[in-house]
Amino acid sequence: MAAIFTRNNNVACSDPFAEADEDTGEVNKQSQNYIHIRIQQRNGRKTLTTVQGLPSRFDQKKILKVIKKKFACNGTIVTDSEMGEVIQLQGDQRKDVQEFLTDKKEGLDLDAKTIKASQFSAGRVSQVKGVFSAITPKDKPQRSIKAVAQQQTVSGGLPNDIGLLEDTFIKPTGYNKPSILSDTRNRLKLEWHWLKKRGKDLFSLWVYKFYIRKTKPRPRLEKLSTLARLATAMHKDMYTAFAASDVETLRRICAEGLLGSLRTRISHRAPNERFDWTLHRMIGKPRVVSNRAAMLPFGKESALRQVVVKIRSRQSLGRKVVQPGAKGKNVPSAPARNTSRTAKSSDREGSSQLSSTSQEDLVISSHPGEEKEVTEYVVIQRRMWNGKEEPWVLWGLTEETPLEAVVPSKAS
């Protein structure tokens, strides 16, 4: 039975910079040998069960699909820079999951000695934010804008990062949304909730254009295709600048929270490390999934716009260890593993690559990155302050809205 769950694809959604942030590359082998099943307290009486450390030979998407059907619960897979892929399930599923992992006939037939089930925890897994979470500023609770205003000092002014706008809705996709056939009622609730949110978002844009600024000219609302191209360009600039440790570029295009997170990670890098980030190709067209505005309760004619764009791409990250300032011939690095179809597409469209290795550096070792398929929700924002619109900046990355925020779970 366990063979059914083995991997047969090369699709991954992990942070390409996660390995670069490890101090020495040494991982606690003892913790890797165990599968951890944890339960965490959520809002009120709701709980969340997480499964971390499954062997890499298993396809976690297939495992999640079987668990959701077998135990009648919702769940998802999130990726963390330290823990890798983590399965999240609604409710207390510890006992059922442990039996499934050790079941020889209908489960994975794993050794019970390698499984550890813990009690209630408020650990790091509850903060996992999905794809490329490690570069996203630590998610702030979705406080109301009035609450943010009350925390500002008179002299400090308003930062350009006040968090993700309250009630921002990103429609779940794929396995994260109910089936129209087996769970029709919850699927219809989800679609109705999405329609209401779209109506409110359109109304907020109307208020932004015609009400906030009393004088002409009115603020211009860009086309969705223009916003998608803008977010894609800023997404590319952020990663290339981050790979090259270009703080000045990051300061120009990033909001304060994201800039602080990236600067901290850059400061932790070893001085003899260099990185090559490559965007091989885009998968489909970037798509705007949320476009809304909100008035700011401080300052005259002030508001904030935020746009969320879904971007699918194939990326890779190479890593080099160099001897700074030593002239010599660089060791040629092997190209990232690529399929023939991807290679042709890269040659046709042109790959976007930035190397941070100087001509004066002698390359001691080179580690080409593995090409991965990544799905990201990029958030860009623009602030209007005292009637004047500021440039667009990159707020960071977010994730799909959890299904339990819209419809109640079966487990509950």
pLDDT at residue 214, as a whole number:
78
The fraction of the chain above a pLDDT of 70, given in percent, is 68
Task: Say whether domain 145-405 belongs to CATH 3.90.1010.10.
Answer: no
- What confidence category does residue 238 fall into, taking pLDDT thresholds of 50, 70 and 90? very high
Q: Judge whether residue 30 has pLDDT over 70.
A: no
SS3 per residue for the chain? CHHHHECCCCCCCCCCCCHHHCCCCCCCHHHHCCEEEEEEECCCCCEEEEEECCCCCECHHHHHHHHHHHHCCCEEEEEECCCEEEEEEECCCHHHHHHHHHCCCCCCCCCHHHEEEEEEECCHHHHCCCCCHHHCCCCCCCCCHHHHHHCCCCCCCCCCCCCCCCCCCCCCCHHHCCCCCCCHHHHHHHHHHHHHHHHHHHHHHHHHHHHHCCCCCCCCCCCHHHHHHHHHHHHHHHHHHHHCCCHHHHHHHECHHHHHHHHHHHHCCCCCEEEEEEEEEECCCCEEEEEEEEECCCCCCCEEEEEEEEEEEEEEEEEEEEECCCCCCCCCCCCCCCCHHHHHHHHHHCCEEEECCCCCCEEEEEECCCCEEEEEEEEEEEEEECCEECCCEEEEEECCCCHHHCCCCCCC
Gap between the Cα atoms of 323 and 159, Å rounded: 40
Q: Judge whether residue 252 has pLDDT over 80.
A: yes
Q: Judge whether residue 387 has pLDDT over 60.
A: yes
Round the CA-based radius of gyration of the chain to a whole number and report it.
Answer: 23
Model confidence pLDDT, tens digit, residues 127-185 = 333 333 333 344 444 455 555 555 543 334 556 677 888 889 999 988 888 888 888 88
What's the burial of 316, exposed, middle or buried (CB within 10 Å: 0-12/13-18/19+)?
buried
Q: Judge whether residue 118 has pLDDT over 80.
A: no
Q: Judge whether residue 79 has pLDDT over 50.
A: yes
Most confident of 59-68, 318-327, 362-371: 59-68
- Higher pLDDT pick, 27 / 168: 168
Q: How far is CA 171 from the centre of its chain?
A: 15
Model confidence pLDDT, tens digit, residues 174-209 = 888 888 888 888 899 999 999 999 999 999 999 999
CATH 3.30.780.10 residue ranges of the chain are 2-128
- What confidence category does residue 17 fall into, taking pLDDT thresholds of 50, 70 and 90? low
The fraction of the chain above a pLDDT of 90, given in percent, is 24
Sign for the CA dihedral angle at 178, 181, 186, 187 comes to positive
Query: What are the φ and ψ backbone dihedral angles of 29, each rounded to 5 degrees?
Result: -65, -30
pLDDT at residue 319, as a whole number:
84
CATH 3.10.450.240 residue ranges of the chain are 145-405
User: Per the omega criterion (within 30 degrees of 0), is the bond before 219 cis?
Assistant: no
- Left (φ > 0), alpha (ψ -120 to 50) or beta: where does 184 sit? alpha
- What confidence category does residue 44 fall into, taking pLDDT thresholds of 50, 70 and 90? low
Q: Judge whether residue 323 has pLDDT over 70.
A: yes
Q: What architecture (CATH level 2) is domain 2-128?
A: 2-Layer Sandwich (3.30)
pLDDT at residue 358, as a whole number:
53
- Higher pLDDT pick, 283 / 144: 283
Gap between the Cα atoms of 290 and 282, Å rounded: 20
pLDDT at residue 16, as a whole number:
57
Gap between the Cα atoms of 106 and 154, Å rounded: 63
Q: How far is CA 3 from the centre of its chain?
A: 30
Q: Judge whether residue 60 has pLDDT over 70.
A: yes
